[in-house]
């Protein structure tokens, strides 16, 4: 087997079915973490397109492209020539970062609900939900031969639907737009990601979305993927729906098995950044802490603690609270907690560096979120880049290894 070939096992004798055992190039089979280490520290951008069939991807609710990055990585490991044909989001700065880094062919600065007509009725013979002749609206026209649709609809709706389903809850329409676009553009495979508790949505948005896929001939795989099960040094979990029309998706748990590595801790991913702090460089600096927070951080280090004692917390927390990780210090030899948009603030989670009296830098947080070093958040924004922008873009992202696993499920 040459170094350009994939390590694929055609048959799993134990479960009696076809199964992918490994996807990394020859030379990394003994320790997959070496490949992911090289991936995360790479300086040169995505690798050249493979010689396989072109895979055209459309990214909805795209932000800066964290999911698209991971999906493209997984697709390329499978031998596809992954190309991002379009990205749709309401954040124009995020779209520019997406295009700058992923060579996205077309960006659309609109709500997803402005590019597709979402009309839902019921099948007369079965009583199941069904899309009623979904079509792309003028803003979403022009996409052809899309092979894979991806997106992470926000949990809370932020736009009203200017079509025949405006009586529904707006946040439901956002996810329901995914099967609508898939059917309207005749897309074979779809990946949707969201927070795990989306399954508890009072509007049954997950059940409705899956029902719509089934009504239009898609096979569906869904479930929660844990970054820890992939060996990634973060406790993050995400819920995925994978739909495919021509055949059943590859099982998510087997996709995770194909890409997992020995469990890694925080030190593995940020140890070489510990002293890379530079004032004036947003990616490599941290906000100035208040005097109160400086004292809290100093107390943790002086007392060799990772959780703040009650008397050091704000008075509003001292009579009882349910957030022990707030103002917490991370542990060098444990996985990172879930990175959120508040990682630059001690009062919003366990984001104090385990070795230094500061919070994480955006570069460190980006590493934990699976953004390789070549990914440039500042390039298209220049002086307009703000800490709040970095916090949201990085904190909302899906670690690339998780997106890669979802791609394997959708494409293998």
- To 5 degrees, how large is the angle CA 67–CA 74–CA 148? 65
CB 343 within 8 A of CB 391: yes
Output b/e per residue, 247-272; b: 16+ Cβ within 10 A: eebbbbebbbbbbbbeebebbbbbee
Return the SS3 of 62. Answer: coil
Locate all alpha helices (DSSP H) within 86-200, ordered by sequence.
Answer: 92-102, 170-184
Q: Which residues contact 281 (CB under 8 A, 6 or more apart)?
A: none
Neighbours of 3 (CB within 10 A): 8
Query: Residue 202 and residue 216: Cα distance in Å, rounded?
Result: 24
What percentage of the chain exceeds 90 in pLDDT?
76
- The mean pLDDT of 290-301, rounded to a whole number, is 96
- Enumerate the active-site residues: 155
Residues in the chain: 412
Per residue in 113-150, pLDDT tens?
A: 999 999 999 988 899 999 999 999 999 999 999 999 99
- pLDDT band per the 50, 70, 90 thresholds, residue 385: very high
- The mean pLDDT of 238-246, rounded to a whole number, is 98
Average pLDDT over the chain, rounded to an integer: 88
Fold of 267-395: DNA Methylase; Chain A, domain 2 (3.90.120)
Locate all alpha helices (DSSP H) within 357-398, ordered by sequence.
Answer: 362-368, 387-395
Instruction: Give, to the nearest 10 degrees, the angle between helix 66-77 and helix 400-411.
Output: 50
CB 72 within 8 A of CB 84: yes
Return the higher-pLDDT residue of 137 and 26: 137
Per residue in 248-295, pLDDT tens?
A: 999 999 999 999 999 999 999 999 999 999 988 999 999 999 999 999
Per residue in 154-192, pLDDT tens?
A: 865 322 233 443 334 566 579 999 999 999 999 999 999
Query: Residue 319 and residue 23: Cα distance in Å, rounded?
Result: 52
Per residue in 309-368, pLDDT tens?
A: 888 888 777 666 667 789 999 999 999 999 999 999 999 999 999 999 999 999 999 999
Domain ranges of the chain: 32-263+398-411, 267-395
Homologous superfamily, domain 32-263+398-411: Vaccinia Virus protein VP39 (3.40.50.150)
Question: For residue 72, which phi and psi values (nearest 5 degrees)?
Answer: -60, -40
Which whole-number Å values give the CA distances from 50 to 57, 102, 168, 270, in the listed order?
Answer: 15, 15, 43, 30
What's the burial of 167, exposed, middle or buried (CB within 10 Å: 0-12/13-18/19+)?
A: exposed
């Amino acid at each position: 087997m040459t170094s350009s070939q994939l390590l694929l096992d055609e048959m799993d004798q134990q479960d009696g079915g076809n199964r992918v055992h490994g996807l990394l190039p020859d030379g990394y089979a003994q320790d997959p973490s070496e490949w992911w280490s090289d991936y995360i520290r790479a300086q040169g951008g995505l690798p050249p397109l493979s010689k396989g069939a072109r895979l055209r991807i459309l990214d909805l609710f795209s932000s800066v492209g964290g999911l698209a990055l991971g999906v493209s990585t997984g697709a390329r490991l499978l031998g596809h020539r992954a190309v991002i044909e379009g990205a749709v989001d309401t954040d124009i700065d995020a779209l520019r970062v997406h295009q700058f880094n992923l060579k996205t062919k077309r960006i659309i600065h609109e709500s997803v609900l402005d590019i597709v007509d979402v009309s839902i009725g019921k099948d007369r013979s079965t009583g199941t939900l069904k899309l009623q002749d979904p079509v792309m609206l003028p803003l979403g026209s022009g996409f052809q031969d899309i092979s894979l649709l991806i997106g992470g609809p926000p949990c809370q709706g932020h736009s009203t639907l200017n079509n025949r389903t405006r009586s529904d809850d707006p946040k439901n329409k956002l996810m329901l737009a995914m099967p609508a676009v898939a059917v309207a553009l005749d897309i074979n495979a779809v990946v949707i990601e969201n927070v795990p508790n989306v399954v508890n949505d009072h509007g049954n948005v997950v059940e409705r979305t899956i029902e719509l896929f089934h009504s239009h001939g898609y096979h569906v795989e869904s479930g929660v993927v844990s970054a820890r099960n992939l060996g990634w040094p973060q406790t993050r979990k995400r819920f995925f729906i994978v739909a495919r029309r021509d055949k059943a998706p590859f099982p998510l748990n087997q996709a995770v098995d194909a890409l997992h590595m020995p469990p890694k801790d925080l030190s593995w991913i940020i140890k070489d950044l510990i002293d890379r702090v530079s004032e004036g460089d947003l990616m490599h600096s941290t906000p100035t802490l208040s005097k109160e927070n400086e004292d809290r951080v100093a107390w943790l280090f002086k007392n060799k603690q990772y959780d703040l004692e009650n008397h050091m917390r704000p008075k509003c927390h001292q009579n009882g609270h349910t957030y022990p990780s707030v103002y917490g210090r991370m542990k060098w030899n444990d996985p990172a907690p879930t990175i959120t948009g508040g990682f630059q603030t001690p009062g919003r989670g366990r984001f104090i560096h385990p070795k230094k009296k500061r919070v994480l830098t955006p570069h460190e947080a980006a590493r934990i979120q699976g953004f390789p070093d070549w990914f440039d958040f500042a390039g298209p924004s220049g002086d307009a880049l703000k800490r709040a922008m970095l916090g949201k873009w990085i904190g909302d992202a899906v670690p690339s290894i998780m997106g890669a696993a979802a791609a394997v499920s959708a494409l293998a």
